[in-house]
């Protein structure tokens, strides 16, 4: 699990260093062009943000499985 999280963090940081996830808000809104690489960075960031939810669901399923054995 740690290696997955670490890989996702590296993907997001690499994208940030390449400027794939930058947005300028003032005085106008301008974002970087959407490319395949930027989509990969956004997907990695989304998965990284959803990791606590994924872990909770996984643990709830495991707990129900353990409870049903008793």
Question: Cis peptide leading into 27, omega within 30 of 0?
Answer: yes
Predicted confidence at residue 57, as pLDDT, reads: 96
Q: Which residues are bridge partners to 31 per DSSP? A: 23
Predicted confidence at residue 54, as pLDDT, reads: 94
Predicted confidence at residue 22, as pLDDT, reads: 77
Whether residue 46 lies inside any domain: the answer is yes
Which segments of the chain are extended strands (E)? 23-24, 30-31
Q: Which residues are bridge partners to 24 per DSSP? A: 30
Whether residue 42 lies inside any domain: the answer is yes
Series of mean pLDDT values for 10-residue runs along the chain (70 residues): 89 87 76 86 93 95 89
Tokens of 7: 């890989």
Whether residue 12 lies inside any domain: the answer is yes
- Length in residues, the chain: 70
Q: Taking the model in full, what pTM does it have? A: 0.68
Q: Which residue range(s) make up the domain with 7?
A: 2-65
Count of domains in the chain?
A: 1
Whether residue 9 lies inside any domain: the answer is yes
């Amino acid at each position: 699990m740690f290696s997955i999280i670490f890989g996702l963090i590296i993907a997001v940081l690499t994208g940030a260093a390449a400027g794939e996830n930058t947005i300028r808000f003032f005085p106008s809104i301008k974002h970087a062009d959407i490319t395949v690489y930027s989509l990969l960075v956004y997907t990695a960031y989304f998965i990284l943000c959803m990791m606590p939810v994924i872990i909770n669901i996984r643990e709830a399923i495991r707990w129900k499985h353990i409870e049903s054995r008793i």
